[in-house]
Amino acid sequence: MTPVKLFSGDSSRYLAEKIAEAYGQPLGSLTLQKFSDGEMSPSFNESVRGSDVFLIQSTFPPADNIMELLLMIDAARRASANQVVCVIPYFGYARQDRKDKPRVAIGAKLLANILMAAGANRIMTCDLHAGQIQGFFDVPVDHLDGSAIFVPYLKSLNLDNLLFAAPDVGGVGRARAYAKYFQADMVVCDKHRKRANEIASMQVIGDVEGADVVLVDDLVDTAGTICKAAAIIKDKGARTVRAICTHPVLSGAAYDNIENSVLEEIVITDTIPLRRESEKIKVLTVAPLFSEAIQKLMTHGSISSLFI
């Protein structure tokens, strides 16, 4: 078999180490030199010639994380790697997936173009903000599903009257998938925004009386939407409200919003590192999911078995 080598970018090392441990081999040795002006120069400290190289790096801000990944791709390609697979647990700029008003960029497509231009042969990611972003790439994309992490946890809670909620119309598909699996009902929170990160109004479509409600989303940023939805659902008579969100962007006043909310808990994954701890935030790791996906990729197995 072709040798497999796993390397990590600087910002995702905490997760890459867990993925490597689950995979059963240590991370490869890589040095990231930084010049005094902040310019980066990554270099591999071992041969990657003829190897399948997996570069693990989420692309959350700052933009240095993207640049570091691009430089690692270029270094691996120039060092004659057999193929370069970018493992991007959180794909940044995914919210910019279309022109929703005049004279704006489509950031997700731009990032896809840059990754391919740098020499990426394959992309592996989890819970894209919009599934159609896979079509922005002209290389294979392994789009993993966070449900493999969240479903076992929800089962362990043994909730009596489970009901799933979409915090906005765009999240209906995600909530419906969970509702179908658990044979439960679902409701929708319809929101109207004045501008980004600012909600003008919200209403709940459906009955939540006496239910144990689980809000489902792909990411949580300022937590304004999820906390407001939880408050409205609670006011409508829900017994408990919790949320599951794959990517903890958690910017601005997110931590304060969560701690002051009616949420029982918000369950997230470690695709992005937390800036601070909170009793209401529970972290589940995606390391086994990515490790198994890498294993199946190398043995030409189907990753469809990883989906619930």
Active site residues: 191
For the chain, the first-to-last Cα distance in angstroms comes to: 29
Q: Number of helices and strands (H, E) in the chain?
A: 8, 14
Closest residue by Cα to residue 13 from 273, 277, 269: 273
DSSP class of residue 157?
A: H
DSSP class of residue 202?
A: E
Cα R_g (the chain), whole angstroms: 20
Closest residue by Cα to residue 7 from 44, 34, 49: 44
Closest residue by Cα to residue 60 from 33, 31, 15, 91: 91
Measured CA to CA, the distance from residue 70 to residue 66 in angstroms comes to: 6
